[in-house]
């Protein structure tokens, strides 16, 4: 099976400027994704898609193939799905068809090689079109998440068959992480989003599921790395 890893890292980031090349534990967030992909025996090639020459240069330095992303696919409002389609077309034109598309966003630097391998293995079972990383949510729309109704009063977001008064009784809900996405090039080329098909997921431990969107997330990741032994991580 030809499993290719893709990292999408545009230059613009408003929540955390220059996020993709910000140093975390001595490595850029981009390097963390590349190194983790390199640590998997199931990944045969790694590609980085970016509009930034600096990001592409760093990518090539660390063993990834560089895909120059068109500016129109690198704006704040451009759906990443279109960048996925562009990258697949670019790769197939140069390296031929492949079996599995694995996206490894830079925003999850605490992912493990085993997370990548588990996602690919589940995808290979053929029971779902796409495999994503999920983590159990602390907040729950059936119990402790609210919204304003039409009268400007607060109400629970989702109702349930019975009134829930204890956290232990609430149905489990999960956050979608940015740890890993595994699907087929065919599915991406012929659909408009992940949930156009069947989706399944691997459960990611909370400490590995961090998604860096702002400086607070970044500081949290720093704290985890400083207080744990991740010597064997890629």
Q: What is the pLDDT of residues 126-143, one digit of tens each?
A: 999 999 999 998 877 767
Residue 155 forms part of a structural domain:
no
For the segment 50-64, the average pLDDT, to the nearest whole number, is 96
Is 0.95 topped by the overall pTM? no
Region of poorest pLDDT, from 22-36, 58-72, 149-163, 181-195: 149-163
In total, how many domains does the chain have? 1
144 located within any domain = no
Q: 228 exposed, middle or buried (CB, 10 Å; 0-12, 13-18, 19+)?
A: exposed
Mean pLDDT (the chain, rounded)? 90
Residue 231: pLDDT over 60: no
Average pLDDT over residues 190-217: 95
Residue 151 within a domain? no
Assign residue 110 the CATH number of its domain: 3.90.550.10
Q: Name the packing angle between helices 113-124 and 29-38 (round to 10°).
A: 60
Residue 75 domain flag: yes
User: Tens digits of per-residue pLDDT, 91-101?
Assistant: 999 999 999 99
In a domain, 61, yes or no: yes
Provide the pLDDT for residue 169. 64
Residue 164 lies in a domain: no
Q: Would you say residue 50 lies in a domain?
A: yes
Helices in the chain by DSSP H: which ranges?
Answer: 29-38, 53-61, 80-95, 113-124, 185-189, 215-226
Residue 142 within any structural domain of the chain: no
Domain encompassing residue 55: 3-137+173-226
């Amino acid at each position: 099976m030809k499993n290719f890893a893709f990292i999408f890292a545009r230059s613009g980031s408003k929540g955390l400027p220059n996020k993709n090349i910000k140093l975390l534990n001595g490595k850029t967030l981009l390097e963390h994704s590349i190194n983790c992909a390199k640590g998997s025996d199931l990944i045969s090639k790694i590609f980085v898609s970016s509009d930034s020459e600096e990001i592409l240069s760093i990518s090539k330095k660390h063993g990834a193939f560089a895909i120059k992303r068109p500016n129109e696919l690198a704006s704040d409002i451009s759906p990443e799905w279109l960048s996925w389609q562009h990258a697949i077309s670019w790769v197939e034109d140069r390296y031929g068809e492949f079996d599995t598309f694995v996206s490894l966003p830079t925003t999850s630097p605490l992912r493990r090689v085993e997370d990548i391998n588990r996602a690919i293995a589940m995808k290979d079972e053929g029971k779902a079109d796409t495999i994503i990383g999920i983590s159990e949510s602390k907040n729950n729309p059936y119990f402790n998440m609210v919204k304003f109704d039409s009268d400007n009063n607060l109400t629970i977001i989702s109702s349930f068959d019975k009134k829930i008064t204890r956290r232990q009784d609430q149905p489990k809900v999960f956050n979608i992480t940015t740890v890993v996405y595994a699907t087929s090039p065919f599915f991406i080329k012929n659909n408009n989003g992940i949930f156009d098909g069947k989706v399944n997921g691997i459960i990611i431990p909370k400490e590995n599921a961090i998604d860096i969107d702002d400086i607070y997330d970044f500081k949290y990741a720093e704290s985890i790395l400083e207080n744990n032994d991740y010597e064997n991580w890629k």
